[in-house]
Amino acid sequence: MNIRLRAVRLILLIIGVISLAVAIYIDQFEFVKELLSKFLDQELAGYPF
Amino acid sequence: MSITTKRRARRYYITISRKITQILSFIIVFGGVLGYAATVLVLPIRVGLSNPFVIVADAWMLMEIMFGMAMVPLVAIASIALFTLVLGRTTCGWICPFGLINDILGALGKRKKLSPRTTLGLWKFALFIAGFLLFIDVSIYYNEVVGSSIKNYFGAFGDAPTTFIDPVTTLFSLLFWMTYSNKWPKDITGWFNLPAELYWRLFFLAIVIIGMLFIPRFYCKALCPLGAIMGLGSEFALLSLHISKGKCIECKVCERACPMDIPILSFIDRGEVRHPQCIMCLKCMEVCPTKAIWLKFG
């Protein structure tokens, strides 16, 4: 159990840190801010445009 | 304040703190109402992205929308992985705006206790839904990248397939925009001209609301794809609940208080309460008469 626990934690840490580092490097956070600032119709299935 | 009220307040300090946190988080997430601009925060919570007042991104919908735009949603993946690693599903119990709605409706309705097998079965069902949706999302992403879009096969739900069975975006995005832009029909004939997708989504929202009235945290237990994915890793989170075999008198008060119907006493030999449905609401810790349950980090 202990090995499994540590292995899963390590996998989550590696995925999280690498994704975060690359996201910062390619400035994806600014894209998120931009996305939240504009009208998004992706979630509006059924909306009578 | 009378002595009885003081004692009750001291006893329920965790619930009170959690409620205050949930309400404050709700206000912060919808910070646009107070005039705050969009932030770069991406949290594993369910709120959608289409509401103009939302200033914090919902990791699941962000992931889905970015896959649809042929982009790898690294911020969403990082947010889900790191929050799960450190806090498990704590964000579901303390921050999620739809979790607050689940709690409110659960308090209004009649509570039905689920068996441990059903609780785990519902999580597996939610995990199946999450896996299926992720498979569709990744397929859409791949086909967008290679230049043969398959979005049309999913009709109006092609941009975000989760919205087909998602009461969160129906409530916070679709219903908001219908009301905000005054799109509701003015006469009876107008109701027949509305898109079929709208009726399906309203019907599904009604089903989930009825479910939430009878089963506490029904959406979180049985349908939330984000919660199900986080449940996979939350069993290994750094923050966890511990239970002492020596102190426990097996009164089952904790199991009765648990909104997620987790069989807490079955973890007594292991010493740690690690369950994919645990949202760290800490109700078990609060109601335990012998203080046999405590929180540990690490």
Q: What is the pLDDT of residues B96-153, one digit of tens each?
A: 999 999 999 999 988 888 999 999 999 999 999 999 999 999 999 999 999 999 999 9
Calculate how close chain B gets to A3, using CA atoms only, in Å: 11
pLDDT of residue A38: 87
Residues of chain B with Cβ-Cβ distance to A3 below 8 Å are: none
Query: How far apart (Å, rounded) are the C-alpha atoms in residues B25 and B92?
Result: 11
B4 pLDDT higher than 70? no
Average pLDDT score, chain B: 93
Whose tokens are 């991104």? That residue is: B57
Tens-digit pLDDT profile for residues B191-200 = 999 999 999 9
Residue of B nearest to A41 (CA): B50
Residue of B nearest to A25 (CA): B74
Q: DSSP assignment, residue B152?
A: G
Which token pair is B68?
């649809």
Query: How far apart (Å, rounded) are the C-alpha atoms in residues B48 and B45?
Result: 9
Percent of chain B with pLDDT over 90: 92
Residues of chain A with Cβ-Cβ distance to B233 below 8 Å are: 8, 12
ipTM reported for the complex, 2 dp: 0.95
pLDDT of residue B5: 57
Mean pLDDT to the nearest integer, B63-73 = 95
Q: Which residues pair with B294 in a beta bridge?
A: B242
| Segments making up each domain of chain B, as ranges | 3-232
> What count of CB pairs under 8 Å joins A to B?
129
**Residues 29-48, chain A, touching B (beta carbon < 8 A):** 29-33, 35-37, 39-48
A4, A42, A49: best to mutate for the B interface, most B CBs within 10 A: A42
CB atoms B198 and A42 under 8 Å: no
Calculate how close chain B gets to A1, using CA atoms only, in Å: 10
Query: How far apart (Å, rounded) are the C-alpha atoms in residues B150 and B226?
Result: 24
pLDDT of residue B112: 85
> What is the number of other CB atoms lying within 10 angstroms of the CB of residue B248?
16
CB atoms A9 and B50 under 8 Å: no
> What is the number of other CB atoms lying within 10 angstroms of the CB of residue B224?
29
Query: How far apart (Å, rounded) are the C-alpha atoms in residues A37 and A31?
Result: 10
Direct distance between the N- and C-terminal alpha carbons of chain A, in angstroms, rounded to an integer: 54
